[in-house]
Amino acid sequence: SQQGEEDPQALSIQEGENATMNCSYKTSINNLQWYRQNSGRGLVHLILIRSNEREKHSGRLRVTLDTSKKSSSLLITASRAADTASYFCGASGSRLTFGEGTQLTVNP
């Protein structure tokens, strides 16, 4: 299968709380990317972490990468209702392979 796994599949939190999503992948990678998708829309690139990096920050986003466990996490701090979307990780090796995605709902 070309798919990795993400958990949780769905996450519902209150505005202001932090949201953590996890992703596992199966192949060797050069980097891992996180994307956001609003319902019925294309993917928006959020952040990229290279295989030799362990942690990266961008605004309210924090990404970690553990290549020994083939896993990554995305933390969104101080969530807002506008963060409601699906979030996918994309593991980039010989190709870009997407995880199953996490549907995040941030309640106002």
**Residue 108 interacting with other proteins (CB under 8 A):** no
Alpha-carbon span 90 to 24, nearest angstrom: 10
The residue (of 79 and 86) whose beta carbon lies closer to other proteins is: 86
The residue (of 73 and 77) whose beta carbon lies closer to other proteins is: 73
**Residue 7 interacting with other proteins (CB under 8 A):** no
- Decide: helix, strand or coil at residue 17: coil
**Residue 52 interacting with other proteins (CB under 8 A):** no
State CA 48 to chain mean position distance. Answer: 10
Helices (DSSP H) in 1-108: which residue ranges? Answer: none
The residue (of 79 and 102) whose beta carbon lies closer to other proteins is: 102
CB neighbours of 31 closer than 8 A, spacing ≥ 6? 48, 49, 50, 51, 92
Site for other proteins, rule CB under 8 A? 2-3, 30-31, 33, 35, 40-45, 88, 92, 95-101, 103
